[in-house]
Structure 1
């Protein structure tokens, strides 16, 4: 399961504990906008739990230098040895611009960032003169008295476009597949990951592939669909490039944005645009409806053994969603929502 900017951090910790009790393999904490940082919550979850894996799903590669990211995850690994998963994303231009960040050559920057971060976590002394990432004669000191044992922190890339997916297949231990994407998009994404994997002598089956899936679940199907439609409408306006990758028509995206008054939307803009979004689009980009309907929609993404759902609830009934997707509680005795990832090499 993924936590975005909700619920509050204390509740996230309680939910992670319940997930651990139910047999979930991993919990992911995301960063979005300037709402809340992921690292603080991950540390709290790591201290409260004993064996569930804790991942950043994702944090960006621009506001934390590679050296700070490596130090941060080395510290988290002290709290929960061999349980941390480092998910990195390439950020978002509008928010980067507000912070004075020139997000140029994001694929190249990600390649350099991964290479440096991985070597630092391996406790190498690193000199690296990249175009966008540079360190000189740097190594992690670790805390006083901490044994110098390389940190086993798998690196995941949050990727959507073909080039970033290819890079992920080539360099990363896993790919955090984006939410609000369709099953059709997933098939295309796997092709790009496979191409990248081949460049480093690997196969797509060698990677861990958590698939973010937005879930709006309610016993009342109409209530769930209303929540999903609102969130989908907002996403079409905010992240149209992701919707385009999933086959959403450009004409619809233009109409939605116009009805919203652009982005950020005017007051009442999302509500004005919602009637324009066909329910078929909502269903293709989210798992929305009753528990049985959601389980069926989530299961459709599990097209390979190494793809597993990382559920992102947008209805407030987190506990019910966790119970509904717990391992062994899905159709036929197995749950499509149980994040039981194979070990990452």
Structure 2
């Protein structure tokens, strides 16, 4: 697939997590809405703040901006609890919720006793049953990774209308892209939430598979929404921005095989990063030592890092490679300035 999508973007969002104070995350959600952005995605991939609780707070301090976990996972909450949670958030938000679901990652999953033996099958079955429950169906389902018997959302004392909560599958690998395409083509998912810390050209490989999957179910690629998480480091001094992004790039190259594979780093250097850092969890000192193997070119290949113009130009590279809504995660301590830059670029489109 060639990079022939529009470089400009008319939708944009932010990704919130791990701010020093939870009040900061709430304030940034409000600021993003006031600036004219379209979405706030709450991270939950590691054992940090619970996304559902924080998003519940967002529903009470914002009015229009869309809200989503970016992403939760398809293992730790059973399908009934997930549907119940998003039915509640749908009510609290006035219908502004999206549901981002990923397949989680090891070694974290195995450390809490979860065996990810069939992640693709699990994603298919989990999304299928969750969607049916949110549509207020009575569901009996016998699958390979989950089964439910005669369940439905019990809404006899509340608004008993189907919950319009589009599902977005968090994907990095090509096989998950294809499966997501099939889920979109069947009307189960609304789109894909593409991962961060990958170069834009990686999108094209995934979107080829997304297109293959959606067309297999008689859909079109245009019918698959494609927001993407993009790590951003912005500073008036480009070298300062790149240095501030190096730690996260190092951490994920060392900890997460799918990021390491997609990052473009030389495999031998990646092995040195992993060995020096020692896997997960890693201390700040571990990451600092391993970062000696991650040069500027590696950082700027997977992070939109540099001046304001550098950052926006790189974000547009991701849009040219198929992203329909950049969702930025600032690594520098200037969230409001990044939001302003993104809002200005959106307004210029």
- So what's the TM-score if we normalise by structure 1? 0.92
Matches of 1:266 and 1:75 in 2, distance apart?
Answer: 37
Q: How many angstroms does 1:247 deviate by?
A: 3.1
Matches of 2:261 and 2:321 in 1, distance apart?
Answer: 24
Matches of 1:215 and 1:118 in 2, distance apart?
Answer: 33
Q: How many angstroms does 1:290 deviate by?
A: 1.3
Question: Which among 131, 134, 150 is matched to residue 121 of structure 1?
Answer: 134
Are 1:153 and 2:165 matched, yes or no? yes
- What corresponds to 2:257 in structure 1? 240
Matches of 1:27 and 1:262 in 2, distance apart?
Answer: 30
- Larger relative CO (CA 8 A, sep 6+): 1 or 2? 2
Larger mean Cα displacement after TM superposition, 31-40 or 300-309: 300-309
- What corresponds to 2:194 in structure 1? 177
Larger mean Cα displacement after TM superposition, 77-86 or 261-270: 261-270
Matches of 1:24 and 1:75 in 2, distance apart?
Answer: 24
Describe the SS at the equivalent of 1:152: coil
Are 1:25 and 2:38 matched, yes or no? yes
C-alpha contact 1:209 1:307 (8 A) present in aligned 2: yes
Q: How many angstroms does 1:9 deviate by?
A: 2.4
Question: Which among 169, 173, 177 is matched to residue 165 of structure 1?
Answer: 177
C-alpha contact 1:58 1:88 (8 A) present in aligned 2: yes
* Distance change in 2, residues 1:96/1:231 (3 Å): same
Question: Which among 269, 273, 276 is matched to residue 293 of structure 2?
Answer: 276
Matches of 1:313 and 1:301 in 2, distance apart?
Answer: 16
Question: Which among 102, 105, 126 is matched to residue 89 of structure 1?
Answer: 102
Are 1:37 and 2:50 matched, yes or no? yes
- Equivalent residue pairs, number: 331
C-alpha contact 1:182 1:284 (8 A) present in aligned 2: yes
C-alpha contact 2:264 2:298 (8 A) present in aligned 1: no
Matches of 1:128 and 1:7 in 2, distance apart?
Answer: 42
> Structure 2 unaligned runs (5+)?
1-13, 184-188
Deviations 1:221-258 (A, max 9, x none): 22211111111111110113223134332112112122
The correspondence of residues 251-266 of structure 1 with structure 2, limited to 5 A, is: 251-265=268-282
Matches of 2:177 and 2:149 in 1, distance apart?
Answer: 29
Matches of 2:348 and 2:17 in 1, distance apart?
Answer: 26
Larger mean Cα displacement after TM superposition, 93-102 or 57-66: 93-102
* Distance change in 2, residues 1:220/1:267 (3 Å): closer
Are 1:66 and 2:79 matched, yes or no? yes
Q: How many angstroms does 1:276 deviate by?
A: 1.3
Q: How many angstroms does 1:308 deviate by?
A: 1.6
Describe the SS at the equivalent of 2:170: strand
C-alpha contact 2:68 2:99 (8 A) present in aligned 1: yes
Deviations 1:146-169 (A, max 9, x none): 231111000000011121111111
* Distance change in 2, residues 1:217/1:266 (3 Å): closer
Describe the SS at the equivalent of 1:300: helix
- So what's the TM-score if we normalise by structure 2? 0.91
C-alpha contact 2:253 2:263 (8 A) present in aligned 1: no
C-alpha contact 1:3 1:12 (8 A) present in aligned 2: yes
C-alpha contact 1:240 1:253 (8 A) present in aligned 2: no
* Distance change in 2, residues 1:195/1:246 (3 Å): farther
C-alpha contact 1:302 1:309 (8 A) present in aligned 2: yes
Q: How many angstroms does 1:4 deviate by?
A: 2.5
Question: Which among 225, 229, 242 is matched to residue 212 of structure 1?
Answer: 229
- What corresponds to 2:338 in structure 1? 321
Q: How many angstroms does 1:266 deviate by?
A: 6.4
Q: How many angstroms does 1:96 deviate by?
A: 1.1
Matches of 1:297 and 1:304 in 2, distance apart?
Answer: 11
CA-based RMSD of the aligned residues comes to 1.7
Matches of 1:242 and 1:198 in 2, distance apart?
Answer: 27
